[in-house]
Amino acid sequence: MEISNSLVAVLVVAAIVVSVAGTMTTMDILDQYVFSPGEGITGQVWGMVNVSVNQTVALVLTRQEVVFFLNPPSSGLEFMNDTEDNHPRPFALRNDGSTNLNVTLYANQTLFEQVSLPTEKFQYKCGDNSSTCDADGGSPASTTSFTNVPTSATLAIWNMSFQSGNNELEIEINATVPPNEPTGDKITWIEFVGVPACADAFCHL
């Protein structure tokens, strides 16, 4: 809260007046008291310092695109793949805030024309290389096995750390071309939302 200069001056003057009045009162009391040899007067007071550190929520998608090159199942060539071997590379997220996060995700539309969501043809999981995907102190845990991508916000990452060196993880994607899928580019969007984590993984969802 900002205080104007005029108000500061008023507060300072008030403090001085109180201090002087207190001194004058004390001196009046001392005049009426006869001290014995060796007696003295001491005083001890405490002042409190209160610092409030604001909470910040900042989830950053450091790798924003996953690109597969697949073939129709009837071709005899590769028609399914996932990002676990980094070919292609998965989504990468970083917690740049000042609090642990619960992260939800969902897709805004189906990836393939021949199947609707949710489907085993389009799945996700929290990356194997991140310790933050494990539940160390509670349940439910982050999603660590391939699960069908949902159409509404669903908890994917639980208690993602904000501590440097442990605040990055990956979301792996698994895609399988369904039978009779027309050729061409297939595109969908996945939304990630991070909210402050707490003892109950669902308390902020």
Both tokens of 43, joined, read 């005083």
Are 103 and 171 in contact, with CB atoms under 8 Å apart?
no
Architecture of the CATH domain 59-196: Sandwich (2.60)
Give strand pairing partners of 107. 190
Q: Is the pLDDT of residue 138 over 80?
A: no
More confident residue, 192 or 19: 192
Both tokens of 121, joined, read 């043809």
pLDDT (average), residues 122-142: 67
Are 142 and 126 in contact, with CB atoms under 8 Å apart?
yes
Q: How high does pLDDT run on average in the chain?
A: 79
For 151, counting Cβ atoms within 10 Å of its Cβ (0-12 exposed, 13-18 middle, 19+ buried), the class is middle
pTM of the model: 0.72
pLDDT (average), residues 57-85: 94
Angle (nearest 5°) at CA 38 between 36 and 41:
85
Residue labelled with tokens 């969007």: 189
Alpha-carbon distance 48 to 34, whole Å? Answer: 35
* Residue boundaries of the structural domains of the chain: 59-196
Tell me the three state secondary structure of residue 122. Answer: strand
